[in-house]
Amino acid sequence: MPPFDIQQIDHLVLRARDQAALVRFYCDVLGCHEERRQDGIGLVQLRAGRSLIDVIGVDGKLGRMGGAAPGAEGHNLDHLCLRVEPFDVEAIRAHLEAHGVEVGEVGSRYGAEGEGLSLYLQDPEGNTVELKGPPDPGKGVVAG
């Protein structure tokens, strides 16, 4: 066992062909907000609850270090799951569709807090984002 306990996801980094569009998507559509910007190295850090989403432009200093840009043949990430509340499927669907975002199937899936409803969508760079609601009563994670 390591001499530490993992508490939560601290941050993840997305490389983007169009950094501004990706920042707008995560802020305007999903409700993150810009916390810190380091234009000299091509980094924008977005607050997502207790975590950060770092957006790196592939043409910036950090982005050039990461190789080819994301595309059909390679993504930087399988998917990002954001825990959201309230999880009102119709309100979420209406909001996303108003922003031109196609919403995937709603289903019950297991997450950090247990089994509960979630849905999938894609951001402008083709990254899959899962929006996850609270666990179903009686189906949360059992401690111990």
Structure tokens at 4: 């530490």
> How confident is the model over 1-40, as pLDDT tens digits?
767 587 788 899 898 989 999 999 999 999 999 999 999 9
Helix, strand, coil percentages for the chain (3-state, nearest 5): 15, 35, 45
What does the alpha-carbon distance between residue 8 and residue 46 come to, in Å, rounded to a whole number?
16
Greatest distance between any 2 Cα atoms in the chain: 49
Q: Are the CB atoms for 30 and 129 separated by under 8 Å?
A: yes
Q: Where are the beta strands (DSSP E) in the chain?
A: 11-16, 33-38, 43-48, 51-57, 79-83, 107-111, 114-122, 128-132
Condensed to tens digits (0 to 9), the pLDDT of residues 37-92 reads 999 999 999 999 989 999 998 888 877 777 777 777 666 777 889 999 999 999 99
What is the pTM (predicted TM-score) of this model?
A: 0.79
